Each structure stands twice: as structure tokens, then as C-alpha cells.
A and B are shown apart, each in its own frame.
Chain A
Amino acid sequence: MSAQTAAASAAKLREHDRLRRALRHGGLLAGTAILAVMILGAVLAPLLAPHDPYDQDLGNRLVNPIWHADGTWVHPLGTDGLGRDYLSRLIYGSRISLLIGFGCALISGVIGSALGVAAGYFGGRVDMAVMFLITTRLSMPVVLVALAAVALVGGSLGVVVWVLGLLIWDRFAVVIRAATQQIRGLEYVTAAQAAGSSTWRILARDVLPNVLDQLLVVATLEVAHAVLLEAALSFLGLGVQPPAPSWGLMVSEAKEHMFFSPWLITLPGVGLFALVLAINLLGDGLRDIAAPRRDR
């Protein structure tokens, strides 16, 4: 009884300690804040966007943004080459990036952690097979294979999510494999094996919960990775297709106007940069809290 309360209060203390570290971690806070604003913007896009992001107005092409002398509040960030309101397109664009990022991380996370846990827990031949899969996957150029696959199947949001999700599971597998290998040797796993727990039960109750920290850190990295990859694919014209307001596609469409209307290039890029930076800060912060570095 008293041992239990002691353990419970120790766990509470650890949680408390974690929370305190989280609140003191500047990067983590900044990342969370930016990401929260972006998610809020994406969810509330129909309320926030002043115009329909697909509405073309050829009479009002390339209107200057508000900080130019002839800018107007009708189009605070101006309009693109087809007269579409740029602010509205930027707001709706965050939906695409977020969907791609989290969708891909979910798919690749499931594939990668399944492979990683299997390799780490069973070892031997399973491990060899998984390591071989990882090496093979790493040797294939992601952008090139993704471009070719999207071109073959046809560019749409769903296709891009699946293609990227099926390609970027490697880091999940590598990290979760290493984490599982460490846990496999621990006493509570041996105890569970001795007590006759089924393999599934051990994996679900003893292994998975204990690799969750690392899983979360890799997941944030892969969300960022997927966002950047989608932007690159769409920039090359073989990702999300027009007229969708993908930030990468918007940069690509603005290329022909870049010398006279450079903001058309800079703004979507700032969006991408801020989103990826926020996710990376969040990931770095989570890692620091899970395993505080001694030298910091």
C-alpha cells in the first residue's frame, strides 16, 4: 500500500517535473504557439478568409499588397496572376500542408513502428529482413520516386499523402527498432514473458507505451519532412494540382511574376518556413523533455 502510494507520488512528481521543463522550454512554447495558430487558421479558414480562394477576377490581376502605396484592404495581401485573393489562398493553403503533414506521418508512423517493433523485439531473421528493407528504401531517391508515382497515379491530395506516407517510414523504423531493442532486455519484459503473456500483449502493454516518447519525436520530424516534400512536389508541378492553393504550387505559379511581384513568392514560403520551423521546435522540445541533455 505504502509502496504503491510512493510510486504513484513519484510518478506524479515526474509528470510535474516534465510539465515544468516544458513550460520553461522556449522553443517548445514558441513552436506550440505557431502551430496552434496555424491549425486554428486552417480550421476556421471559411470564417477568416475574406474571399473565396478559387474566385478569379481577371480585372484585378496582381493587385499590390497593403504595404504598397496602391494597396487596398479589399485584398490585404494582393492578388495573384489570376486575380485570386492571396490572403484567402494562403489561409486555405495551410489546410493542405497540415493534412499532408499529419496524414503522411500517420501512415508512415504505422508502417515504420510496426517494422521497427518487429525488428527490435524478434531480432534474428526478422531484424535482418527489416534492416534490408530500410537500406533498400533509403537507397531510392524519395523526391524522384514520389514524383514518378504521383505522375503515374495522378496528382491529388489523397495520392500525395499515400505516396509520401508509403515512402518516408524509414526513420520511424530505425528509431523504434533501437528503442525496442533496449526495452526487450529489461526485466519487466522478461517477467511478462515468464508469466506467460502473449507476444501481442507484451508488445501492446510493455513495449509500445515505452517507445511512445521516441515515436512522438520522430512523428514531428516526419510531419515537417512531409510538408516540405509536398511543397517540393507541388512546386515541380507533380504534386497537388491547380487550382488548389498548395503553398508549393503557389510559389511555382508566382515564378513568372517574381521580378515585379516578389511577395507572391515570399509569402507562401514564409508560411512553409513558419510551419516547418514550428513543428521542428516542437519536436526538439519534446526530445529535450523526454531525455534532458546533460550538456545543456
Chain B
Amino acid sequence: MLTYTLKRLVLAALVTLTVSVISFGLLRLSGDVAAALAGADATSADVEYLRRHYGLDRPLPIQYLDWLGQALRGDLGQSLYFKQPVAGMIRERLPVTLTIGACGIAFAVLLGIPLGVIAALRPNSWVDRAALTLAVCGQALPSFWFALLMILLFGVVLRWLPISGFERWQHLVMPTVALGYNALPAIMRLTRAGMVEVLRSDYIRTAYAKGLARPAVLFKHGLRNALIPVVSLTAVQLGFMLGGSIVIESVFALHGIGHLAWQSISRRDLPVVQAIVLIISCFYVLITLLADLVNASLDPRIRMGGAR
């Protein structure tokens, strides 16, 4: 287990480092940062001064190491537009994104796993077919459109839910569904496939043969094994959700980091964009790392490095 954990940690660190190089490169490839800082009506002397003042005249690798060092100490630079430290702006908005991300993944898991299990227990029944139809349709729904349709129906026609804002729990309902339904089909299908596979296996027959009751067999022996791949998938989907919340945040006017990223991209506020790409990537790396470690503790075959 220790070797496996160490290997995974090294991989996670390497991935994060590579992403940091890419997101740094993104900013520098975009053109002259000094000119962007100085604004449209600056003289070339002003631009030169800023270039030297911010150290933008040094070689790129040096600038990168400098930026990385500061990022590691929690300093993500200054926003060109707000003239504020980026780290503070992100810290202020991160809770919104994490809240709808957590609600979204909870929605997908709490609905997807039971649906997948029921569908697997009765293959080809109407429940199975309905779940499959739901999955196929869900995968084809553009999230921004689905969100707008919900606003029209529940916000405007029925007036059940508020259409924007972030104060009461009612505000969270539509963003949660709009973000979570995307991950639901995949989780449901994988649970179903895993369950069908497991229920056919010998150890389930053995469990029945030694006289265990059906619920004990299904949940203790069946679901536990079927869920191992679902853990990884859920982690991946949560990571995607944090990146995808940019669309949902813009529809519901939620001020999370997705919305901030969108605004910053439109304003060419690249230090902010760079920082948010890095932060979301770090979250993804962290979540998938945790999922792999959970899986390794559930399944000895993984931590022994055997083929799976």
C-alpha cells in the first residue's frame, strides 16, 4: 500500500507541475503582458517601465520558476482588472463553486447508483428501459439549455424556485440539477454494468449457497465490488464538474470561480485565468488521487499492482 501511495503521489505531483507549465505558457503566449498591464493609452516608455518593474524582461524559465515559487507560497499574482491579489479573489468565490459541485455530484450519485442497481437486478424490465432512456436523453442535453428551460418552467411559469442568487437552499436546486444530471448517466450505466457482472460471478453464487439472505448478498458482496470502478468515475466527474460549472454559474449568475474565469477571459485578465486553471486542475488531481487511494484500500489487486 505504501509503495502504491508513493507512486501515486509522485504522479500527482508531476501532473500538477506539467499543468502549471501549461497554464503559465498560456499567459505568456497570449502576447505582451506589460502592454496589457499598461492599458491602451500608455506610451512605450510606460510599457518598458512596467516590463522592468514586474520582471517581464527576464528569460521565461526564470519567470516561470519565480511564479511557481510564489504560487506555492499562496501568492497567485495580481489581477490586471481588479488590481487585487488573485488568491484572495479566488478564496472569496471558491465556496460557491465547491458548494454547487458537491451538491451536483451528490445528486448524480444518490440517483445514479440506486437506479443502476435496480436496473441491474431486473435487466430488460421497464425500470431498466426507463433508466436507459433517461441516460441516453440526459447525455444529449446541452447543460446551458437545460438550465434555461428549468428557469423558464420552475422560475417563470410555475414560480416555484428563484432564478438567480445564492442565499437560501432554494437557490441551489436548479444549479445542482443542471450540473449533476450530466454525470448521472455515466454513473448509472457503470453501476448497472458492474452489478450485472458481479451478480454473475462465482462468489455471489457461493454467498447464496452458504445461506446468506438476499440483501446481505446484494449489498455486502455485490454492490461493494460493483462500486469500485464507480468511485473512480465519480471522482473524475466531480473534477469535470468544477471545470464545467463555468457554464452553470453564468446561467444562474452565481459568483463562483467559473463566473470569475469567464469574466476574466473576456477581459483578458490572464493572471486570474491562469490561476483558476491551475486551481481546478489541482482539485482534479487531488480528487482522483483520493479516489485511487480509496480504491486501493478496497481492492488488494490494485495496490499489489496486478492486472485489472
Contact A135 B15, CB 8 Å, known A141-B242, A142-B243, A238-B266? yes
Q: Which of B22, B123, B145 has the most CB of A within 10 A?
A: B145
Q: Does A228 contact B (CB under 8 A)?
A: yes
B246: Cβ under 8 A from any A Cβ = yes
- Contact between chains at A224 and B140 (CB < 8 Å): yes
CB of A248 within 8 A of chain B? yes
- A-B contacts counted at CB < 8 A amount to 133
Complex contact A269–B145 (CB within 8 A): yes
Contact bitstring B222-264, A, C-beta under 8 A = 1, else 0: 0000000000000010011011101100100000001001100
Q: Does B276 belong to the interface (CB within 8 Å)? A: yes
Q: Which residues between 212 and 244 of chain A lie within 8 Å of chain B, taking CB atoms?
A: 224, 228, 231-232, 235-238
Note all chain B residues with C-beta closer than 8 A to A143: 243-244, 246-247
Interface residue B265 (Cβ < 8 Å from any Cβ of A): yes
Please judge, given known A-B contacts A139-B15, A144-B246, A281-B136, whether A273 and B142 are in contact too, CB under 8 Å.
yes
Can you name the residue of chain A whose Cβ is closest to the Cβ of B273? A148
How many residues of A are counted as interface, with CB atoms below 8 angstroms from the partner's CB atoms?
44
Residues of A within 8 Å of B152, CB to CB, are 258-259, 262, 265
In the complex the two chains form, what is the Cα distance from A295 to B192 in whole Å? 11
Residue in contact with B19 in the complex, picked from A27, A136, A147, A262, CB distance below 8 Å = A136
Contact A251 B266 (CB under 8 A): no
Q: In the assembled complex, which residues on chain B have CB atoms less than 8 Å from the CB atom of A149?
A: 26
Query: Is A265 a contact of B145 with CB atoms below 8 Å?
Result: yes
B278-291 interface bits toward A, Cβ cutoff 8 Å, 1 = contact, 0 = none:
00110011001000
Cβ of A9 to closest chain B Cβ, rounded Å: 33
A276 CB–B CB distance under 8 Å: yes
Contacts A135-B11, A139-B285, A276-B140 given; does A295 touch B277 at CB 8 Å: no
The answer to whether B142 touches A232 (Cβ under 8 A) is yes
In the assembly, what is the distance between CA of A271 and CA of B255, in Å? 30
B57 to A: closest C-beta gap in Å? 22
The listed residue (A136, A147, A152, A224) touching B262 by CB distance below 8 A is A147
Q: Are A139 and B284 CB-contacts (below 8 A) given A269-B142, A272-B142, A273-B141? A: yes
Q: Which residues does chain B contribute within 8 Å of A276, judged by CB atoms?
A: 139-140, 142
**Do A277 and B136 touch across chains, with their CB atoms under 8 A apart?**
yes
A136 touches B15 (CB 8 A): yes
Which chain A residues in 134-173 approach chain B with CB under 8 Å?
135-136, 138-145, 147-149, 151-152
CA distance A251 to B30 in the complex (A): 29
Closest to A262 in B: B152
CA distance A224 to B156 in the complex (A): 30
Contact A258 B26 (CB under 8 A): no
The smallest C-beta distance from A4 to any residue of chain B, in angstroms, reads 37
For A235, what are the chain B residues with a Cβ–Cβ distance below 8 Å? 142, 144, 247
Distance between A249 CB and nearest chain B CB, rounded to angstroms = 11
B123 with A295: CB separation less than 8 A: yes
Quick check: is B29 within 8 A (CB to CB) of the other chain? Answer: yes
A140 to B24, CA, bound (A): 13
Contact A144 B243 (CB under 8 A): yes
Contact yes or no, A139 B30, CB < 8 A: no
Q: How far is the CA of A132 from the CA of B137 in the complex (A)?
A: 33
The residues in A between 281 and 296 inclusive whose CB is less than 8 angstroms from any CB of B are: 281, 284, 295-296
Q: Give Cα A226–Cα B297 distance, bound, in whole angstroms.
A: 36
Tier of interface size on chain B = 35 or more
Q: What is the CB-to-nearest-CB distance from B174 to chain A, in angstroms, rounded to a whole number? A: 15
Residues A251 and B145 in contact, CB atoms below 8 Å apart = yes
Q: A199 within 8 Å of B by Cβ?
A: no
User: Which residues of A are found within 8 Å of B280, using beta-carbon distances?
Assistant: 141, 144
Find B277's partner among A145, A231, A248, A277 (CB 8 Å cutoff). A145
How far is it, in angstroms, between the C-alpha of A284 and the C-alpha of B268 when the chains are bound?
41
Once the chains are docked, how many angstroms separate the CA of A147 from the CA of B249?
15
Which B residues touch A228, using CB under 8 A?
A: 142
A72 touches B (CB below 8 Å): no
A79 within 8 Å of B by Cβ? no
CA distance A42 to B179 in the complex (A): 31
Q: Across the interface, which residues of A come within 8 angstroms of B149, CB to CB?
A: 265-266, 269
- B140 and A277: CB pair below 8 A? yes
Q: How far is the CA of A142 from the CA of B242 in the complex (A)?
A: 11
B170 within 8 A of A: no
For A152, list chain B residues within 8 Å (CB).
26, 29-31
**Alpha-carbon gap, A266 to B29, bound state (A):** 39
| Bound: A139/B14 CA distance, A | 12
- A59–B30 Cα distance when bound, in Å, is 42
Q: Is the CB of A280 within 8 A of B140?
A: yes
Cβ of A12 < 8 Å from any Cβ of B? Answer: no
Contact B277 A139 (CB under 8 A): no
Q: How long is the Cα–Cα vector from A224 to B107 in the complex, in angstroms?
A: 24
User: B124 at the A/B interface (Cβ < 8 Å)?
Assistant: yes
Q: Which residue of B lies closest to A266 (CB)?
A: B149
* Binary CB contact string for chain A from 242 to 255 against chain B (1 if under 8 A, 0 otherwise): 00000010010001
With A139-B281, A236-B246, A272-B145 as known contacts, state yes or no: A148 contacts B265, CB within 8 Å.
Answer: yes
Complex formed: what's the CA distance from A201 to B268 in Å? Answer: 48
Q: Are B236 and A138 in contact (CB under 8 A)?
A: yes
Q: What are the 4 closest A-B residue pairs judged by CB atoms, nearest first?
A: A141-B243, A269-B145, A277-B140, A276-B140
A sample of 12 cross-chain residue pairs with beta-carbon separation below 8 angstroms, ordered by A number, consists of A27-B136, A138-B284, A139-B288, A141-B242, A141-B246, A142-B243, A144-B280, A148-B265, A151-B268, A152-B30, A231-B145, A273-B137
- Seed contacts A141-B246, A144-B277; 11 additional CB < 8 Å A-B pairs: A138-B284, A148-B273, A148-B277, A251-B142, A258-B151, A262-B152, A268-B145, A269-B149, A276-B139, A277-B140, A284-B136
